[in-house]
Amino acid sequence: MILSDRKMGKLKKLAQSAEEDRIKSHSSQTNQFINVGKLKKRVKDSRNKWRGSGLHGPPSTSLRGSSFVFLGVFLVFLTVLKIQTEIPTGNFDFDGGWYASTLCIVWALTPAPVGQPRQIFAAHLFNMLVGILIQYIPTGCFSGVCDGSDALPIQDFTEWGEAEPEGRFGMPMIWKQALAVALGVSGQAYLGILHPPATGLSGAFAKNASLSWGTVATVIAVDAVVVTMSMLILNLSSVKQYPLFWLGLSYEEASHATARRVSGVKTMISRARINQRQDEAV
């Protein structure tokens, strides 16, 4: 009887494991069908989105308003280019053309959140820091002289077969630029400091090793000039106001955010104490 009971127990365990395997297999097949169905639905929804939403484009600006924008952009950009010409070539050099798109947003899309001072300063600084960090990644080079003016950087991994034996292994330049821009865009989105024109700085700094901390200081100073001049001129208009916000966070909101963080820390501490008491009681 003992042997038969043991055999029966083993048979029951085998039957249970077989049933569990069958249930798992069935659930996995069901999940696969569900995933395939979701994928098909997503593809179908994506194709429907290609048609657009039927919205209208932005309205045009009056001739008087456009003339005001023309005059303001001309004065501000001329000042930026004048600063560029006065700065000696070296550590503080920058490209005044970086501000063309910024002025388009500030003057033609004045209420846009992406054109407010916080966005300009923070996005420029963030993207320049990203580009400087990417500079530390070694760049692949065809020849042994990889840091000179005549250096020929590897543009893609497929070109390594054409490199000389004394060439330097590293990340291709176009990969470094793509990495810098991807980090610039995603980082701006995550931090809430989107200013689209600033993204070009991450790619420029990643490609040009001569752009360093001196250029960072110059860009921040020119940002102050652009914001100040735009504020003084734009607010002369009866229909425009700039900026709409500076930091984008009121003292009341800041105090509420701080209070939420403090209450969250207190809750964590109280839970830890309760768990500790329970462990001591056990």
Q: Where are the domains of the chain?
A: 63-234
* pLDDT score, position 1: 46
DSSP count for the chain of H helices, then E strands:
8, 0
Interatomic CA distance for residues 202 and 271, integer angstroms: 44
Q: Which of 193, 234, 199, 218 is nearest to 103 (CA)?
A: 234
- Residue 171, helix vs strand vs coil: strand
* pLDDT score, position 88: 79
Two structure tokens written together for 19: 């049933």
DSSP 93: -
* pLDDT score, position 251: 47
Two structure tokens written together for 31: 């999940």
Interatomic CA distance for residues 263 and 257, integer angstroms: 10
Two structure tokens written together for 191: 């931090």
Residues 80-114 pLDDT 10s? 999 999 987 778 889 999 999 999 999 999 999 99
Interatomic CA distance for residues 121 and 194, integer angstroms: 10
Residues 205-249 pLDDT 10s? 998 888 999 999 999 999 999 999 999 999 999 899 999 999 886
* Mean pLDDT, rounded, for 149-167: 59
Residue 143: pLDDT band by 50, 70, 90 thresholds? low
More confident residue, 178 or 258: 178
- For residues 239, 243, 249, 251, the Cα torsion angle rounded to the nearest 10 degrees is -90
Q: What is the pTM of this model?
A: 0.71
Interatomic CA distance for residues 163 and 152, integer angstroms: 10
